[in-house]
Structure 1
């Protein structure tokens, strides 16, 4: 192998390794996704996806922190075999009214511990949450991942628009706008229109059938009268012929 070939091969290997390294980093973040949609002002089930990034350690704890300025009055975890969950609440400076009931506390932290996520694997941590913010398009939920070798990774950095992604970005839950009744109203109008058109067509078909029946009845009557006239003519002709013969 020539010197030029060796240099080219080394450069290619370095580039490939860099791509793999960057790709692994990009896809190894702690993230949060809704099951279906997370609608503004509504309730949703969300999943925190936690991959294990270390080859020589296992993840043994996950802590997620909800923003106090976007208080959640209801947070219900789903049981995960081998894991213990703890939900913490904080007293609100200003009470909230939800479904006619005054709420003085909001959930600000949920911690899972006691389990293990081994190297090369991931675990999902589901929560049912609400009431989601009504005037925001996202929630930044900071997370802390702990390994059994004592290492702690804080996924708390908030990304900025137009800037590169931070090294340890915080999970972001995207919120969709609540859907109104316009679509249903439009659908109902369309159905009414279709029903009206169908009724008109049926009425038209009925009118055509009645007209056809009336025409057939008139034709039959005309033919019947014509037959009677022809019959009477034949009788008169026969009587006249008999008279001539006599």
Structure 2
């Protein structure tokens, strides 16, 4: 009887750990943006990481909106095999001075549309832009993004976090900027820090579940009457 209880406890502990690990990993699966070289006043490469959060459909379209209040004078889009890219220019609500240039029009959206299979189910891909100049005196730039799946589902990553502790369900990719003397390592509002934290949490939970399972199994093996001096 004790053996069955111990084994059941071990199974429950391990299963619970796996469920919590899965929850921690899925929480970080959203469209994000990062940059290896963004700094105020300069030019930068922006990398949008796009996971396909579906078991059956693929990502077939991605529309990235660029900030109109801080427009870029220059926008270059990555050319990718299997994707058609289109940049859309709009007239700005009011002229904006960017460096030595005053913009009345700017590229406000970049759209990648799959000409093939797109980003497969449960996989991810990256889409890059080369932009400039990065505005000065700004803490972060938001890039609301629309992701379309092959089954017709459209996910809008457009919610802006109201604070550092705010965790929207569909956060807009946000590029955090640092001082010009320090290269930025920016991500979707909590991307790098939270994903690192999620990985640590996942490993900790998994280890705890396995440890509980081993303890339960050890108790089962050492149940009363299992020693070498057992009466026969």
Q: CA deviation at 1:164?
A: 4.5
> Which residue matches 1:46?
46
> Which residue matches 1:95?
95
List runs of 5+ in structure 1 lacking aligned partners.
Answer: 181-246
Q: Which structure's residues are more often helix, by fraction?
A: 1
CA contact (8 A) 1:57 1:118 kept: yes
Q: CA deviation at 1:75?
A: 1.0
> Which residue matches 1:58?
58
Look up the SS of the partner of 2:152 in the other structure.
coil
List runs of 5+ in structure 2 lacking aligned partners.
Answer: 183-232
CA contact (8 A) 2:47 2:126 kept: yes
Aligned pairs for 1:148-227 within 5 A: 148-179=150-181
Q: CA deviation at 1:106?
A: 1.6
TM-score by length of 2: 0.69
Larger Rg: 1
The Cα offsets for residues 101-137 of structure 1, whole Å up to 9 and x where unpaired, read as 4421122111100240012321111111112121112
> Which residue matches 1:119?
121
CA distance in 1, matches of 2:152, 2:34: 27
Distance 1:16 1:42, change over 3 A: same
> Which residue matches 1:194?
none
CA distance in 2, matches of 1:99, 1:177: 17
CA distance in 1, matches of 2:72, 2:102: 13
Look up the SS of the partner of 1:19 in the other structure.
helix
CA contact (8 A) 1:37 1:176 kept: no
CA distance in 1, matches of 2:162, 2:63: 23
Look up the SS of the partner of 1:41 in the other structure.
coil
> Which residue matches 1:70?
70
TM-score by length of 1: 0.66
Q: What number of residue pairs does the alignment pair up?
A: 178
Q: CA deviation at 1:15?
A: 3.4
Distance 1:40 1:156, change over 3 A: same
CA distance in 2, matches of 1:76, 1:62: 16
| In the alignment, structure 1 residue 83 sits paired with structure 2 residue 65 | no
CA distance in 1, matches of 2:164, 2:141: 19
CA contact (8 A) 2:99 2:133 kept: no
CA distance in 2, matches of 1:51, 1:152: 14
> Which residue matches 2:33?
32
Q: CA deviation at 1:81?
A: 0.8
CA distance in 2, matches of 1:99, 1:172: 23
RMSD: 2.1
Look up the SS of the partner of 1:23 in the other structure.
helix
